[in-house]
Amino acid sequence: MKKITLLILGLLLVSSVFVVGDDNMDKMSINIHEGWNLVLLYSNPIDGILSESEIKIEDFPAMFFYWNNRHKMYEMHPNNEMEKDGYAIEEDMHYMLNSAHWIYSTKSGTLKVERVPWSLSETKLSKGWNLLGTTEEMVNNKVTDFAGNCDIEKLYGWNSKKQEWESFSVNQELSPSALGTGMAIKVRNTCQLETNTGITPVPSLPN
């Protein structure tokens, strides 16, 4: 099977977020709290941080990535343990690119990063626990609206201000402030997320 190099995902959000356009890229501003933050990450975690960001990579003494389909936690910063396991195959990317990362920050402040979204319809979850980031497609929708063929067993959000897990319902709508935050989601089956278009299935032919 064709191997592709790991796409290391670079930093996004905990509490509130806004996006501004640019000629070459989108930017995202993130409120980071002192302590552990569970956030959606894109691009390279170092190169993705913009020069005008209040929070710098030096403010993150620890960063970890949970590889959903391997069910294994990897240190990403300051040491990159993922490199020890070699390459990711193409299929792995569907489990990785909308995953949430753990970052530990020594201070609270605003993090400014590049934003390179990955389609929700290309996101898969592995049986058991997964860390998933909240994308634009999820905002103002219930989890059931984009669950696809996933049979969801448990769902938790990380409150970085209180430094604790908070359970929430699959029928709870995700507010814009959730954009870029991470959630822990346990599914009974390996499955595919999918945006619900509200269109009913094509009618069958008559008997």
Task: Give me the residue spans of the domains in the chain.
Answer: 3-192
Q: Which two tokens stand for residue 197?
A: 């278009």
The residue ranking higher by pLDDT, 137 or 131, is 131
**pLDDT at position 177:** 84
What is the rounded end-to-end Cα distance, in angstroms, of the chain? 44
* pLDDT above 90: residue 159: yes
DSSP strands (E only) in the chain = 3-4, 17-20, 26-32, 35-40, 62-67, 72-77, 88-89, 100-105, 109-115, 124-125, 128-133, 152-159, 164-167, 182-187, 191-192
Tell whether the model's pLDDT for residue 163 goes beyond 60. Answer: yes
- Distance between CA atoms of residues 23 and 158, nearest Å: 34
For the chain, how big is the Rg over CA atoms in Å? 17
pTM over 0.75? The answer is yes
